[in-house]
Chains A and B, each alone.
Chain A
Amino acid sequence: MQITSQDFKRVSSLKLTDPQLQKAMGNAKGKLVVTRARSILELDNFEDIREAAARIRDFGLQHMDVLLEEWERNATAAGTIVHWVESPQDVNAKVIEIARNHGVRKIIKSKSMLGEETNLNHALEDAGLDVRETDLGEYIIQQSGETPSHIIAPAVHKSKEDVADLFAEKHGRRRLTDIAALTHEAREILRPHFLDADMGISGANFIVAETGSTMIVTNEGNGRMTTTMPRVHVAITGIEKIIPTLEDVSMILRLLTRSATGQSISNYLSFTTGPKRDADKDGPGEFHVIIVDAGRTRILGSEMREALRCIRCGACMNHCPVYQNIGGHAYGWVYPGPIGSILTPSFIGLENAIDLPNAATLCNQCGVVCPVKIPLPDLMRKLREKQVERGLRPWTERLGLRLWAWAATRPAIYSLLTRIGARIGKIAGGSDGVLHKLPPGGAGWTSGRDFPAPKGKTFRELYARRPVAGKGAKS
């Protein structure tokens, strides 16, 4: 996907005043927060399960080498053809190679965020292949020529009216506005493609070492058709998706669907273990799995390692006050919201996503809902430290911090400066008691707010003059 993370400031400002986006985000706002909150009450030991899930994910990361080899043995034994791929470009090249080997012309695709990382659709189209997204949200995005703005609800930035306009234009049919009718229309359009596609592509939520399976968690049924109907199937997935056992998968699933959509369980859970067997009624004749690094081992060896626990539920962005107001596109790459603010700089380089770790209030609403306990604010703060270490922050900010620290560690000077500041601030506040405009360093504050003025004297000077009779007035 084209990287526009460096435009975060400009784009986020535009998003705040984009009526269509604000309408769509307003409709969505809070829904997934409420459904999640309700569904986790079904579990009387939610916190224990979170802890267990975090341990399972850590175990997978810790023993990734051994587990991936176990997975490969079991997958190969079931007839799966396994490919190990290092770079994003090689992923696309491998998919195209498989397509060419099988004389593929039409491909149907179930949702894959890794495919967004590698820009797969464009590569396939450039290779002359016809690619159809079949997840409803992804289908909408493909029709509108956009990118996903959320990892599980890719079209959350669009209202149903936006979709109604889009479908009327692209399908050349009467404009429908009822959600069920729009869904039915998309289904009618997609059905023939399911039936005559030569190849299916899916991602994987997890790959299971003990069985050699890939698995996807879906609600629409398109995933199951994509993995079973075409004669060739290719699943692409990152190395970090490894889970030791089915028992572990079931533990994590209790959290995944509840954290994502507030469902106790999704409509479909599809496990794929090898191609169609003789006795099977359906399934692909050939099943390929492409296991992808694309920067993951580098993250594994970094301080951002805990971010690889992510099970892609989207709860962090659903609960993020920043994401809720600007949507996902401003983040400028595949993964938006808090997890994106860590993954994006980790994948594409800290210097290419300067704003992301800083564009957060560190409120930790994300950290407390993350089902695998990724310490998201702590990781963002570490990235901020790396930016300072690498000199990536503006010199004015660095100088400001230096001066502040210099003064704050010198109490006499600090006292003098704050006394001056309190006095000037009070005068500037006038009778309103607020400043309407701060000087350049603080102008961002007063662009949308007043700044309540200080009261003229500091606590320390008033306390020093406190009558000695007061109890315990020593220092």
Chain B
Amino acid sequence: MKVGLFVTCLVDLMRPNIGFCALRLLESAGCEVVVPADQTCCGQPGYNSGDRKAAQALARKVIEEFDACEYVVVPSGSCSGMIRAHYPELLAEFPDLRAKAEALAGKTYELTDFLQNMVRLDRVPGKFSGTVTYHDSCSGLREMGVKSQPRALLAKVAGLSVREMQQPEQCCGFGGTFAVKYGDISSRIADLKCEDVLSTGADALVLGDLGCMLNIEGRLRRRGDNNTRVLHVAEVLAGELPQD
């Protein structure tokens, strides 16, 4: 399988380890992985801020970059959701691009969905001694149908057990630029998520989206919690936890 890996701008800038973990998982599943060198961003910040033209320019770029790939895999629910759920509408006014956008949408997968349902990974390299809790990121859950896939994969990690939050599907309050424009509301929502995470007593919060990750981790640290780790699901599955 020839898979294009779209690492996303936040992984590129903030947490490169996650990109390498995704790469390792795909390669361990026997995929031939291509990482287009000029990739940047899916355009979501512009799209959700009302700058449709900026979003269109980036969508056009992503479409060209991944045109030759059989599949496109993204270690993020919201960036894969942007491509699958929004590109066709975003480019609807360009008849030549609409078909390409739909083709790309049809072959784009969130990482855990791809590993569980497409390559049907039966073993994962990761080991983890402890309890984790999984946060369902909004776009992953509601745009990409990611719910059971990460849990099924985490169940294959030796030594790991999952303890669910009361409301794992509740938004963490990130919302892209919302987190900056309405920082106090966003922080309050993040705080409630932290409470829910902490009430599980888990050693780590695991999730599949960088935005939520930075948001919840940022709130935990501000609360003075330096013990609860916040990990991307790819890091746990690949067994390559970041060195702090």
- Interface residues in chain A, defined as those with a beta carbon under 8 Å from any beta carbon in chain B: 9, 12-13, 16, 321-322, 325-326, 358-365, 367-368, 381, 383-389, 393, 397-398, 401-402, 404-405, 408-409, 411, 414, 418, 421-422, 432-434, 441-452, 454-455, 457-460, 462-464, 471-475
Binds A, one of B151-159, B182-190, B232-240: B182-190
Q: Which residues B34-56 have CB closer than 8 A to chain A? A: 34-41, 43, 45-54
The closest CB in chain A to the CB of B61 belongs to A409
Contact of A448 among B34, B53, B178, B183 (CB under 8 A): B183
Task: Say whether B218 faces chain A, with CB atoms less than 8 Å apart.
Answer: yes
> Main secondary structure on chain A at its contact with chain B?
helix
Chain B minimum-CB-distance residue to A367: B142
Query: Are B19's CB and A459's CB within 8 A?
Result: yes
Q: Is the CB of B15 within 8 A of A455?
A: yes
Assuming A402-B51, A474-B34, what are 7 further A-B pairs, CB within 8 angstroms?
A358-B178, A384-B50, A404-B45, A445-B186, A459-B7, A471-B32, A475-B37
Known contacts: A325-B185, A433-B244, A457-B16. The answer to whether A363 contacts B138 by CB under 8 A is yes
Chain B residues contacting A381 (CB-CB under 8 Å) are 47-48, 50
- B residues adjacent to A (C-beta < 8 A): 7, 9, 11-17, 19-20, 27, 31-41, 43, 45-54, 57-58, 61, 138-139, 142-143, 169-171, 173-192, 213-215, 217-219, 221-222, 242, 244
Is B174 in contact with A458, judged by CB distance below 8 angstroms? no
- Are A13 and B173 in contact, with the CB atoms below 8 A? no
A450 to B214, CA, bound (A): 9
Does B175 contact A422, Cβ atoms closer than 8 Å?
no
Contact assessment for A458 and B27 in the assembled complex, using a CB-CB cutoff below 8 Å: no
Q: How far is the CA of A444 from the CA of B7 in the complex (A)?
A: 27
User: Which residues of the partner chain B approach A322 to less than 8 Å between Cβ atoms?
Assistant: 182, 185, 189
The complex places the Cα of A398 from the Cα of B52 at a distance, in Å, of 12
Docked-complex contact A472 and B187, CB < 8 angstroms? no
Chain B nearest CB from A328 CB (Å) reads 14
A28 to chain B, nearest CB (A): 14
Alpha-carbon gap, A365 to B179, bound state (A): 17
Query: Residue on B with the closest CB to A466?
Result: B20
The distance from the CB of A131 to the nearest CB of chain B, in whole angstroms, is 35
How far does the alpha carbon of A248 sit from the alpha carbon of B189 in the complex, in Å?
Answer: 39
Residues of chain A lying within 8 A (CB to CB) of residue B46:
401, 404-405
Return the chain A residue nearest B33 by Cβ: A472
Q: A451 touching B50 by the CB < 8 A rule?
A: no
Residues of the B chain whose Cβ atoms lie less than 8 Å from the Cβ of A13: 184
Q: A381-B47, A388-B50 are in contact. Are A464 and B37 (CB under 8 A)?
A: yes
A321 interface neighbour in B17, B38, B171, Cβ under 8 Å = B171
Is the Cβ of B50 less than 8 Å from the Cβ of A386? yes
**Chain A residue at minimum C-beta to C-beta distance from B54:** A405
Set B184, B215, B221: member contacting A447, Cβ < 8 A = B184
A321 touches B173 (CB 8 A): yes
